[in-house]
């Protein structure tokens, strides 16, 4: 609670349990949060609007895969070329619309991702802005990453880029980056699968140990 911004006010609450005594905390009503999220403006890049489309599948449900895209520590374990990721929450102390992510790519420079639309487990959209401190990995764009559930329990991940400048010269400059991103997608998908499998195995081992 000490880390939350002043604008995020939680009514104080306490309960008494025989085994623990008095437990103090705060109460946050999630209903208006959900309503606000549902009514928020939609920023969605569809396949027909995109300058680049990538698709890959992983054998895990969207609720699991989503975490490995939005959690900084999990992203670092599978996304290629990432050297650090730092999230900045929005004014309500949450990750979602109004929050941002600062990603470092070594010699590739840094990138700012500003979240414009946030629909948990379905899709999110962010504004992609390269920062002037290294080689430009890709020009300014808006990207939607969407998670489609598959019948076998897996997820089909679709990522779509729409360039800010869609002129012929800009598209030509983007072509090498687009080719590299397409080629890199299978590598990222394999690393993502490995990271989730490692965490699942570690959790199973922990549960087995605790069960003893």
Q: Which domain holds residue 124?
A: 40-211
Structural domain includes residue 199: yes
Q: Is the distance from CB of 163 to CB of 139 less than 8 angstroms? A: yes
Contacts of 35 (CB under 8 A, 6+ apart): none
Structural domain includes residue 190: yes
pLDDT in tens, 54-108: 999 999 999 999 999 999 999 999 988 778 899 999 887 889 999 999 988 766 6
pLDDT attached to residue 134: 57
Question: pTM of the predicted model, to two decimals?
Answer: 0.79
Structural domain includes residue 27: no
Distance CA 199, CA 73 (A): 12
Structural domain includes residue 20: no
Among the listed residues 144, 162, 163, 165, the one whose alpha carbon sits nearest the alpha carbon of residue 44: 144
pLDDT in tens, 169-212: 888 889 988 998 899 899 999 999 999 999 999 988 888 777 75
Structural domain includes residue 197: yes
Structural domain includes residue 158: yes
pLDDT in tens, 18-55: 888 999 888 888 888 777 777 777 899 999 999 999 99
Structural domain includes residue 16: no
Query: Into how many domains does the chain fold?
Result: 1
Structural domain includes residue 204: yes
Tokens in use for 29? 């009503």
Distance CA 209, CA 92 (A): 38
CATH number at residue 95: 3.30.530.20
The DSSP element (H or E) to which 94 belongs, if any, is: none
């Amino acid at each position: 609670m000490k880390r939350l911004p002043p604008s995020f006010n939680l009514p104080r609450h306490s309960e008494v349990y025989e085994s623990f005594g008095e437990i103090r905390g705060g109460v946050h009503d999630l209903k208006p949060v959900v309503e606000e999220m549902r009514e928020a403006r939609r920023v969605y890049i569809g396949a027909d609007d995109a300058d680049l489309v990538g698709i890959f599948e992983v054998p895990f449900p969207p609720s699991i895969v989503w975490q490995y895209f939005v959690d900084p520590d999990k992203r670092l374990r599978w996304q290629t070329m990432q050297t650090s990721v730092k999230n900045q929450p929005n004014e309500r102390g949450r990750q979602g619309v109004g929050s941002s992510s600062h990603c470092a790519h070594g010699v590739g420079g840094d990138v700012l991702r500003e979240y414009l639309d946030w629909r948990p487990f379905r899709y999110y959209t962010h504004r992609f802005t390269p920062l002037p401190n290294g080689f430009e990995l890709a020009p300014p764009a808006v990207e939607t990453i969407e998670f489609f559930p598959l019948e076998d329990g897996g997820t089909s991940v679709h990522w779509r880029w729409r360039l800010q400048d869609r002129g012929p010269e800009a598209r030509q400059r983007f072509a090498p980056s687009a080719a590299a991103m397409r080629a890199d997608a299978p590598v990222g998908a394999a690393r993502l699968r490995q990271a989730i499998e490692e965490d699942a195995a570690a959790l199973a081992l922990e549960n087995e140990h605790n069960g003893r």
